[in-house]
Amino acid sequence: MQATFTPICLGIGLAALLDDPAGYRRAAALLASTAALPVIAVAIACLIVLAPPDIAGAPRLGFQLLSTALIGAVVLRPTAPMVRVLEGRVVARVGVVSYGMYLYHLLALHIAAPAVGRAVGPSEPVIFLFTAVLAYGLAEISFKLMEQPILRASRRFVAPGNRAAAALSAEA
């Protein structure tokens, strides 16, 4: 069974590490160099190319650890060229609807795999692409029909002076 708790825990661990001054210094020493981002990106690319079709176990953990390191390197070097890519409109929009993509990706996969299999045969890259596009579409629909109305309605419950909560509900 595939589980998503490991990357969530790694993200929490990274946030805790960067929140602690000593942890921040240690992480910065390792991840804030100009070489860190490209080296991590190349390592991820190599893992993607060389990993077996079933990435259970060590390959998955390696990808998750490298992804966490990549996020840490981006946070620690906000002026790096890769940051401009991550701040682009497409990536930013995926970030807005990413929770829906997380919720709907398995549904999208269960639709994509048999549809792609019937149309072009068992092609993992095509299944991945179709799943990603379908999950994004479902997430956009969910965002517009469910999340935005809930966020708008939540404005009624924001305490006066709570700027953070007001800003979150204003994004809806």
pLDDT at 46: 93
Q: Greater confidence, 146 or 79? A: 146
pLDDT tens per residue, range 100-132: 999 999 999 999 999 998 888 888 889 999 999
Of the candidates 67, 70, 140, the residue with the CA atom closest to the CA atom of residue 103: 140
Q: How far apart are CA 126 and CA 42, in angstroms?
A: 23
pLDDT at 123: 84
pLDDT at 144: 96
**Is the pTM of the predicted complex or chain greater than 0.95?**
no
Binned at pLDDT 50, 70 and 90, residue 141 comes out as very high
pLDDT at 171: 58
Write down the H helix ranges in 20-156: 21-31, 36-50, 58-76, 81-86, 89-96, 98-120, 124-142, 148-154
Other CB atoms closer than 10 Å to residue 98's CB: what's the count? Answer: 15
What amino acid occupies position 82? Answer: M
